[in-house]
Amino acid sequence: MRAFAQNEPLTETELGRLDEFLKSYKGGKAMKIEEVDGFFSALIAGPEIVAPSEYMPELFGSETPETRAFSTLQKLTKSWGS
């Protein structure tokens, strides 16, 4: 399994795969890639740490997202097709 590079932007291929994943998640209810960019920028710049259990519903457009579906990096990268 390939580990994600730290402090490196996603490649065009990785961005494309993420975009397709978000579009397909629950019929397009997740944020668009541009919204994710701004959303995570706000989370990073904010004065407090926000737990994934708080932001995942916003990210995926659901009150009860399947956050456990991505409990490991391996499961996440498999869902992206790598």
Q: What is the pTM of this model?
A: 0.64
What are 14-45's pLDDT values in tens digits? Answer: 999 999 989 888 777 899 999 999 999 999 99
| Residue 15: CB atoms within 10 Å | 13
pLDDT at 65 over 60: no
14 vs 18: CA distance, rounded Å:
6
The residue written with tokens 């904010």 in the block is 46
76 vs 56: CA distance, rounded Å:
14
Residues 16/33, Cβ–Cβ less than 8 Å: no
Name the residue ranges covered by the structural domains of the chain.
12-79
What are 45-55's pLDDT values in tens digits? Answer: 999 998 888 88
